[in-house]
Structure 1
């Protein structure tokens, strides 16, 4: 019986993987051109993408080139290159899906792809982690890629003042825990004026350990 249910749950998985594989082919087709760019030219791509987005191009259309730019930036800043399976994971996350990745497949690096892409819209991206240590570590570690490409990176930690939180939320990409994001949302809804609020638009989020955060921890209510 478990095998039967597993088969039902995985129905259509092959089709999805084929679609993601096609995206990877397009990303790889840009690699030679982008790897030949100087650091300044690579950084300039962010402004070019933003301009193209403002003129009507969708994030889906920008995705292959944007992913190729992030991969090149990761090579230059961290000495790490996104594998094809990581590109597939990034595309799946951008499309609003859950990407199940095995230990060692580099989930942290995968998150940089949809984070960068959606930050191009200028409405902010939240990267949700399970604890303050990971939030601070990833904002510095993976943040090197984003900062290299001209984006601002913020982090929400437990001991921050409202002013510090507001500044962190104003960044292009903001790292933090589900509890910090959740409590800030509740406090904003209790604020008397908009000036007291710290968060801005809720546009796009990448959730690490999604089963733990949205299922296990969701059983414990956030109470102020």
Structure 2
């Protein structure tokens, strides 16, 4: 099969001769090119159908039984004491103490001094920061509304 661009070049030359017969060359070119395109699609469909008719499917052999997963154990050492927190888990309902290990001493002190119910203890809050009241909204949409 020749390349399609060569066929279109030949078509362009042949269509110019039709102008002598008082026919619009552009319309003739469109009509002939579309007919060539449909013929090419038919050829492609035929080729694909022919290839698919010769395909032989093979079933892969079943893999051997997979080994059962090994028993996993979870450990979570406490960074302060080094003891396993999972083994010595507190019973449900027991209160857990939250330890703030990040930040500076001043930041931890300021975090303890902030009262979510008293805006006077919040200090300077950025407008895009979460609101200290605990609503989950940005400060500018909660207590920082102008």
Which TM-score band (shorter chain)?
A: under 0.3
- Larger Rg computed on CA atoms: 2
TM-score of the superposition, structure 1-length normalised? 0.17
Name the TM-score, length of structure 2 as normaliser: 0.23
